[in-house]
Structure 1
Amino acid sequence: MKKKQYNGYKSYQYLEAGVDYKEFKLSREYDRVEPFVYPVSAEQEEEVQRILEEDMIISLHEHTFIAPEDLNEFMAFRRQGRDFTGYEGLSISGLDVVFENFMDGTALITSNHGWKWDDIIFDLGMRYSDFAHQDLVIRAETIDDLYRAKREGKIAFITSLEAATQIENEVDRVDVLYGFGVRCMGIAYSEANALGAGLREENDSGLTQLGRQVVQRMNKLGITIDVSHCGDQTSLDVINESSKPIFITHAGARAIWDTRRLKPDNILKACAEKGGVIGIEAAPHTTLTEQNSSHSIESVMDHFEYTVNLVGIDHVAFGLDTLFGDHVGLHSLLSGQLSIGKSHQGPKFEKVEYVKGLENPAEAYLNVVRYLVKKGYSREDISKVMGGNILRVLKETWVK
């Protein structure tokens, strides 16, 4: 496979470890566990490589940082506010565009609870500083940036945030975030905020008046809206309030795995009817099914196929939500911080150490393309779900 133009750069190598920042031993990027290649024939692999070479491959949702090898150090690692990007792993991922969500709600530099304005801005600035010293990743703020990345053998990062909690009651902060390059943003995460309810809340009264103002402002600015972590009523209200299509960047179908973290059919349909796109999720122990209750690429693709059958091929993509490191261990560590236990309550499942076939960004999207080719999806349909559908929405929601 043709690799991206990667020169071996490691995050913050322009500084001196132990002098300018505290050094942590980081996880291995792409072989922390036994790498998995979804089995295809030689002829099918040739088709996979043609698709990767010619088509735009987009992830609707990732966190591309490298976690510490020792997760007991994770909170100290987060307090430092310096995430390390998995450039080497990304260079072999086949990805052309990544919706990068940075530390997001786990930017715990000044707070134990996350989503503080200062922490979000600190996180963005720190990562941007690192990006400025390398030449694999480019910051994407326009459609032209995405095509340029593909043309030049680079990877475009679209700055995304999973919630707007950090704006508090300041609508103009949405403009500031746009100025900092944010081009996709959620409304609420797990906990309710001043805009609406997150998916952990027992009572969801929907989008507030402030929330409606924020949706309208995002439409005007050109920030695509995400409702992945919003409660059901808030999700529906956002879809109805928005004058433009929205994303559900990383989720699955509650109809085939009954947990609050996934979306019911009426929300999936409403998103599609508005012209939006649903990204299928693969973070550990989310997109399971009764037939495949041990999380792997097979259970994730069950959600993909169900959603395609429900809303049509034009409204589905992938936001696999992977990272470099022990994702299962991080979920256990951050279960309270991210309300994972609350939102994942549902059927019993077999706990896995990692999601086979989709363990990290280096292998995940390659295996999805292999799966689609092996299952006989047409080249046109593969092009749509691997990037074309997302591009369509961005062309409708971003500033021309």
Structure 2
Amino acid sequence: MLPPADRYSGYRSYSYLRAGTDYKDYALAPEVGRVPAYQRLTLNDEQRERVERLLRDSTVISLHEHPSVLPADMTEVVDLIRTGRERTGFEGLARSGMTALFDNFMDGTSCVTSQAGWKWSDIIADLGMRFCDIAHQEYISLATSVQDIRDAHATGRLALVAGLEASTMIENELDRIDILYGFGVRQMGIAYSEANMLGSGFKETRDGGLTAFGHAAVERMNRLGMAIDISHSSDQTCRDVIAHSQVPVFITHAGARSVWNTNRMKPDDVIKACAERGGVIGLEAAPHTTLSPDHPRHSLESVMDHFTYLVDLVGIDHVAFGPDTMFGDHVALHDLFASAFSIEPEHATVPKVAYVDGLENPAECFYNIISWLVERGYSDQDIRKVVGENIIRVLEDVWI
């Protein structure tokens, strides 16, 4: 993990207001040092210097994160969410070495007014509140173009790309995609596990694929210049979206079903179709997802087993990382929202971990990922591709 970036001034979420007066305060999980540092990498001084140089000089992008800070007492998490003030982990992000991240906000836990989540008003409230918080500091900037990401790198800032994991909240209104684009959203998923008006999620037992409305939504996102994510979509919906989109699509956070056989992972034909159309798959690291037979206890090594498989399957130009991490007890959050996340079967059949060793939060992910790649002799060019340049290539095709 790196020291805080020079441009970070120490800002904390909503510190322009009075905690306990203007909003309800909570004791939060630490952004640094909540769990022990990863110990399985053995780099010499020259390799460590190379890791830090690559982090400093490369365009490092996470294709999928939720950089919120959870409460220290996880029994308070629903109460905190219902206040509508998710806390951004500014300090942890300032230690990450990232140039940009795709922040997917509250998503399946968006239950400000509803226990079911995914309500239009809640999504808008979450976006507005978080954007207001970000506007009161100078380290993180909102990115709506590739140039914004490049400018962030040049000035020592972190670019935040607003994304949403599903389109459920647009219901049957195409123009809501335009509204979200107007607010700054530049990436959106099709379905989150359960079917919606656009298509099927991976939870469904009958896979209906992309609907007629879904075809229209894909066309609208293409015209607007909004990147499409199919991470939580069903297999047939994924195939349909890839075939119908006029530009490459992302699988922002998943893994290979051939490595770990669950519906959350993608089959080879979907991964290859995505790559053949120019797309990229980001490697997932949320607890108990990207496991492997060689490393069934979830860790960085488990995730990198998927990485090596995917590089062999589709080539280094189509692989990236979307770790899907946050600050706080991610496992406890999954336990609370297991039904909404469609993860009960996965949790029941794998060795339970308290955290994903080496990929526990956004502050440590890319330091450890790049360290793993350096330790195994990957070239600077290939490392730069998988930690950011592959994503930039797709965005140059997709964003307007």
Aligned partner of 2:374 in structure 1 is 373
Aligned partner of 1:350 in structure 2 is 351
Aligned partner of 2:394 in structure 1 is 393
Cα deviation per residue 1:71-106 (whole Å; 9 max; x = unaligned)? 111111111110111111111111110000111121
Given that 1:256 and 1:303 are in contact with CA atoms closer than 8 Å, whether structure 2 keeps it comes out as yes
Aligned residues: 397
**Alpha-carbon separation, structure 2, partners of 1:355 and 1:188:** 26
Given that 2:4 and 2:91 are in contact with CA atoms closer than 8 Å, whether structure 1 keeps it comes out as no
- In the TM superposition, residue 2 of structure 1 has moved relative to its aligned partner by 6.5
SS at structure 1 position matched to 2:340: coil
Aligned AA (1:398) = W
Given that 2:219 and 2:245 are in contact with CA atoms closer than 8 Å, whether structure 1 keeps it comes out as yes
**Residue in structure 1 matching 2:253, options 250, 255, 258:** 250
Given that 1:259 and 1:345 are in contact with CA atoms closer than 8 Å, whether structure 2 keeps it comes out as no
Report runs of 4+ in structure 1 exceeding 3 Å deviation. none
Aligned partner of 1:330 in structure 2 is 333
Aligned partner of 1:104 in structure 2 is 107
Aligned partner of 1:384 in structure 2 is 385
Given that 2:288 and 2:347 are in contact with CA atoms closer than 8 Å, whether structure 1 keeps it comes out as no
**Alpha-carbon separation, structure 1, partners of 2:134 and 2:37:** 27
Aligned partner of 1:48 in structure 2 is 51
**Alpha-carbon separation, structure 2, partners of 1:67 and 1:96:** 23
Given that 1:65 and 1:85 are in contact with CA atoms closer than 8 Å, whether structure 2 keeps it comes out as yes
**TM-score, normalised with respect to structure 1:** 0.98
Aligned AA (2:15) = Q
Aligned partner of 1:58 in structure 2 is 61
**Residue in structure 1 matching 2:307, options 290, 304, 307:** 304
Cα deviation per residue 1:219-260 (whole Å; 9 max; x = unaligned)? 000001000000000010000010000000000000011011
**Residue in structure 1 matching 2:210, options 207, 211, 214:** 207
- In the TM superposition, residue 321 of structure 1 has moved relative to its aligned partner by 0.4
Given that 1:36 and 1:356 are in contact with CA atoms closer than 8 Å, whether structure 2 keeps it comes out as yes
Aligned partner of 1:27 in structure 2 is 29
1:6 correspondence with 2:5: no
Given that 1:68 and 1:325 are in contact with CA atoms closer than 8 Å, whether structure 2 keeps it comes out as yes
Aligned partner of 1:147 in structure 2 is 150
**Alpha-carbon separation, structure 1, partners of 2:99 and 2:13:** 20
Given that 1:293 and 1:350 are in contact with CA atoms closer than 8 Å, whether structure 2 keeps it comes out as yes
**Alpha-carbon separation, structure 1, partners of 2:23 and 2:37:** 31
**Alpha-carbon separation, structure 2, partners of 1:73 and 1:199:** 30
The unaligned stretches of length 5 or more in structure 2 are: none
Cα deviation per residue 1:165-190 (whole Å; 9 max; x = unaligned)? 00000001100010010101000001
SS at structure 1 position matched to 2:102: strand
Given that 1:225 and 1:247 are in contact with CA atoms closer than 8 Å, whether structure 2 keeps it comes out as yes
Given that 1:56 and 1:386 are in contact with CA atoms closer than 8 Å, whether structure 2 keeps it comes out as yes
345 and 351 in structure 1: CA distance in 2 versus 1, 3 angstrom threshold? closer
SS at structure 2 position matched to 1:176: helix
Given that 1:260 and 1:345 are in contact with CA atoms closer than 8 Å, whether structure 2 keeps it comes out as no
1:198 correspondence with 2:188: no
- In the TM superposition, residue 36 of structure 1 has moved relative to its aligned partner by 2.2
Cα deviation per residue 1:305-340 (whole Å; 9 max; x = unaligned)? 101100000000000001000011111111012222
- In the TM superposition, residue 367 of structure 1 has moved relative to its aligned partner by 0.2
SS at structure 1 position matched to 2:363: helix
Aligned AA (1:370) = S
Aligned partner of 1:127 in structure 2 is 130
176 and 14 in structure 1: CA distance in 2 versus 1, 3 angstrom threshold? same
**Alpha-carbon separation, structure 1, partners of 2:162 and 2:344:** 27
SS at structure 2 position matched to 1:287: coil
Aligned partner of 1:362 in structure 2 is 363
**Alpha-carbon separation, structure 1, partners of 2:193 and 2:280:** 21
**Alpha-carbon separation, structure 1, partners of 2:371 and 2:17:** 40
- In the TM superposition, residue 349 of structure 1 has moved relative to its aligned partner by 2.2
Aligned AA (1:82) = R
Aligned partner of 1:174 in structure 2 is 177
The unaligned stretches of length 5 or more in structure 1 are: none
Per mean C-alpha deviation after superposition, the further-off stretch among 236-245 and 48-57 is 48-57
Given that 2:275 and 2:314 are in contact with CA atoms closer than 8 Å, whether structure 1 keeps it comes out as yes
**Residue in structure 2 matching 1:292, options 288, 291, 295:** 295
**Alpha-carbon separation, structure 2, partners of 1:102 and 1:338:** 15
Aligned partner of 1:226 in structure 2 is 229
Given that 1:82 and 1:123 are in contact with CA atoms closer than 8 Å, whether structure 2 keeps it comes out as yes
Q: Percent identity?
A: 55
Aligned partner of 1:91 in structure 2 is 94
Given that 1:294 and 1:352 are in contact with CA atoms closer than 8 Å, whether structure 2 keeps it comes out as yes
SS at structure 2 position matched to 1:27: coil
**Alpha-carbon separation, structure 2, partners of 1:2 and 1:331:** 30
SS at structure 1 position matched to 2:351: coil
**Alpha-carbon separation, structure 2, partners of 1:69 and 1:382:** 35
- In the TM superposition, residue 345 of structure 1 has moved relative to its aligned partner by 7.1
SS at structure 1 position matched to 2:395: helix
